[in-house]
Chain A
Amino acid sequence: MPTSLINADSLLAIDVGAVSTRAMLFDVVDGRYRFLAAGLAPSTAEAPFFDVGEGIRRAIDHLHLITGREFIGPDEQLIIPSKPNGSGVDTCVATVSAGTPLKVVAIGLLEDISTESAVRLASTTYAQVVDKLSLNDRRKQAARIDSILRLRPDLVIVAGGTEDGASQSVISLLEPVGLACYLSPEGQRPEVLYAGNHSLVDEVESLLGSLVHLSVSPNIRPALDVEQLSVAQPELAQVYRSIRVRDLNGVQELDGWAGGKLIPTATAFGRMVRFLSHVYDSAKGVFGVDIGASATVLAAGFSGDVHLGVYTDLCLGQNVTGILENSSVEGIARWLPVDIPASEIQDYIYNKSLHPYTLPASQEALALEQALARQAMQIGVKRLLDGLPTHIRTSGHGLMPLFEPIVATGSILTNTPSRGQTLLTLLDGLQPTGVTTMVLDQNNIMPALGAAAGINSILPVQVLESSTFMNLGTVISPSGSAPYGALALRVKVKQEGSTEATLEIKHGTLEVIPLPLGKAANLHLQPLNRFDVGMGGPGRGGSVRVVGGVLGVIIDARGRPLRLPKEDARRRDLLKKWIWTLGG
């Protein structure tokens, strides 16, 4: 149902990424909010500027060139609110992912339980866990102190102690933190986020409060079998904001423009997935993926409950070697439709790390970067699924739950020669199951909408209702264990104004049912050989109404998990065939 316009404020969203800074303008057109344009400039957190402000001004200048609208006044400040002559904007929101990942020490009582929760909480922002302390840790007190002093973390996350549970053990785990902070110069002490047993807050405050900036959130592990990371995410976002304000020149001014509400880009992305999970089919979740130079961000939302994974070691920027460290050259090479020697693949990754701004100019380079994106998504999805509650149903162990839709963004997906390549990269990397719509955020505005949602709840709704997002197509992915070549699915297609057609899909194949963009069709799906299309279990089918995307309707019966042939030549031929199937 269309939403009505309540608040007619124009909005400028600024996103400072590791590689690019974007200035995005949203305003009211014909009574509804629309995304109007985006200005783009290289980020300038690094040499020679060491100030994100220069990149922001250049992005705004670019936006001015596109729109003709003045944003910066003679005092070099953002014109806010807008003026009757049309210059300026009424509101501004800001997101940041630039800067090195926060170094985090995760503390919990038990390594496999609360410490793991602290680690998972760290993985919901741009962070890298550099050490873990728990009761299982055999190191002596002095070694723990030395470790903290040596690593100089930006943040210590403390979990542990169920509500009204263990207390003294938690406090004793904090003693090396207190001593290390005492021994560090004042300006070099970490922030501490306490997310443990709430009854200990006063004791923690008296132990650490005079030494560090202490933030307190509700307990992320209130009971042994309950983990609630989302309750600590607002505090974590605040801590991230204060560290970036301290460490990156220009962020403080940007935060001022945004009324002190600057948030991590990934948090804004997760907020948007949460929002969508309220809007869409509650029987399924909503999934979001953003592959960027700072991190691969994955978010799975189920009726407002979002599970966010921010994987800084799986990015396509300076830390791209992390993908190699988390897998192997062979793991990346398996996605290549062309033969590139292993040594060249590794050299390419190392060179990308030296020059993270570079673009894939040749087809081989593009294939390699898409292979890296696939591998990053594969590893990221596995990590995210490991942390999902067990009650979320999947078609099999290690498979993706049912999602509707899957929204994707990131320049490796949006700046491709064909949407077929975008879709195949996503299908290989994520390997969705059942019936889902693949949506591309081609203007990379998801985080901007998430940030805007904090001050203007109408704007993201109306922008989503516009045609800003691209429907790549409905994807039907049966999963099962029959041999390749066996029938997996019978599909009856009934388009308006045409006769019914029946297709039989074999296991191992990728097929496209042409359906013009925006045109609806009814599909009757009948899984065969106990394949599962997410309609109630193996062999169960049903009817579904679908709307054509730019690639029509895609039946991905290649198998879940997708197993590629071991023989190189055959595998490459198949990869080429699949690209060709999706339009090249």
Chain B
Amino acid sequence: MLSPITHFLPITTIRRERLLPVQGRVLVRKGQKVSASDVVAEARLAPEHIVLDIARGLGLSAQKADAALQFQAGDEVSEGDVVAGPVGIGRRVIRAPRGGRVVIAGGGQVLVEMESPPFELKAGIPGLVTELFTDRGAEIETTGALIQAVWGNGKVDFGLLTVLLSDPNDAIAADLLDVSHRGAVVLGGYCGSADVINLADEIPLRGLILSSMDSVLEPLAMKVNVPIVILEGFGQIPMNATAFKLLSTNERREVAVNAEGRNRLAVTRPEVVIPLPASGQVSLPVEMLDFSPGQQVRVISAPKRAQTGTLVSLRPGLTVLPSGVRAQAADVRFESGETAIFPLANLEVLA
């Protein structure tokens, strides 16, 4: 059976396509070095328009109003520009209420796309631009440690990693954060307080890496500007030992927090990247595996959510779980020596 894979890798080659959802402008060139927060492409995702009813404004028929147009489709207009007119004794005119670009003009109406700041697609990871996608984006490659998360709030940034937990079971509290953390990426544990998130945004931090978070905080976490990723899930869940060791041993290094939401139909997943120099060729992570004995696995559903262990054996046929549900299952041995049975659907391979 195919296994979902999560990467907690100390060193690997990381290659990411960063693509706009719509056509836009690519701002980087092949071979260029970029930082995580550099903009690789931009586009107008949600342009605002205004319809100027020049026929009504000038008191003319549509045909006559069209004859009074001063701009055509494609022309740029500035705020206050006369779009149509002057006409009549009163020298009546229609002015542009804001700057923008005329997209359609005719039939007594003018449709203007207003000037607005474009959506900026950030690199997400620091690295080298290895490929360009016309009007859509770029591929960026780097080497370093890769820690994949299960949830992110859509923001991207980078900074020096500060570790505020000494044990995977620790929780982060607001009194652990202060202004000295400004610009840092903080590794916390479980977050059960809105104060932590508000303070992280106020300081501001450059990123917050959590093991878990109460689900009631999700709407607040989505609103703030600081990138937040959670590695395990919602509720009070300790950080798995592999991720904790990997992150806590990289304190004071620069880390990139790409908290973009997980899109299962695209190649996007929240993650933390710690750029590290590599000696020689470093392979890309394995992305496809079938479950097999010897694999390091993580439990992704209760009971024992987030615990990591070794897949000892795959059980033949279907196994009856403690719930009574029948499923393909495996025996997993934890570091404590305890062995338990889990449905394969509740496991993912750490590779």
Contacts and interface: CB of A to CB of B under 8 A. Distances in A.
Interface residues of A, number: 51
B167 interface: no
A16 to B, nearest CB: 13
B314 interface: no
A417 interface: yes
Interface in B29-60: 45-51
Given A359-B325, A363-B324, 4 more contacts: A149-B47, A150-B45, A188-B22, A361-B321
Contacts of A365: 301-302, 323
B301 A358 contact: yes
Q: Is the interface of B mostly helix, strand, loop or mixed?
A: loop
Given A42-B1, A141-B51, A348 B287 contact: no
Interface of A: 41-42, 44-50, 58, 99-100, 140-142, 145-146, 149-150, 152, 179, 182-183, 185, 188, 248, 318, 343-344, 346-351, 354-355, 357-366, 415-418
B94 to A, nearest CB: 15
Nearest to B236: A347
Contacts of A44: 2
B99 interface: no
B293 to A, nearest CB: 20
A348 B214 contact: no
Contacts of B301: 351, 355, 358-359, 361, 365
A179 B326 contact: no
Contact of B111 (A41, A50, A142): A142
A359 B346 contact: yes
B235 interface: yes
Contacts of A418: 324
A348 B300 contact: no
A416 B321 CA distance: 10
Nearest to A44: B2
B325 A361 contact: yes
Contacts of A141: 51
Contact of A362 (B21, B104, B218, B322): B322
Contacts of A346: 215-216, 234
A347 B234 contact: yes
Contacts of B322: 361-363
Nearest to B289: A48
A343 B300 CA distance: 18
Given A351-B235, A359-B343, A48 B264 contact: no
Contacts of B22: 152, 185, 188
Given A347-B214, A361-B321, A42 B265 contact: no
A347 B322 CA distance: 21
30 contacts: A44-B2, A46-B264, A49-B288, A100-B265, A140-B51, A142-B50, A142-B51, A152-B21, A152-B22, A179-B104, A179-B111, A183-B47, A185-B22, A248-B265, A344-B235, A346-B216, A351-B234, A351-B235, A354-B151, A359-B321, A359-B327, A360-B323, A361-B301, A362-B322, A362-B323, A363-B324, A364-B302, A416-B325, A417-B320, A417-B324
A358 B345 contact: yes
A355 B300 contact: yes
A57 to B, nearest CB: 12
Contacts of B233: 347, 350-351, 354-355
Contacts, number: 142
B171 to A, nearest CB: 14
B264 A361 contact: no
Contacts of B264: 46-47, 318
B23 interface: yes
Contacts of A41: 1-2
Contacts of B113: 183
B26 interface: no
A579 to B, nearest CB: 12
B342 interface: yes
B40 to A, nearest CB: 20
Interface string B1-22: 1101100000000000000011
B246 interface: no
Contacts of B320: 417
B27 interface: no
Nearest to B303: A362
B323 A47 contact: no
B216 A343 contact: yes
Contacts of A348: 235, 302
Contacts of B4: 357
B283 to A, nearest CB: 16
A221 to B, nearest CB: 29
Contacts of A355: 150, 233, 300-301, 346
B209 to A, nearest CB: 16
Given A354-B150, A415-B326, A362 B23 contact: no
A96 to B, nearest CB: 14
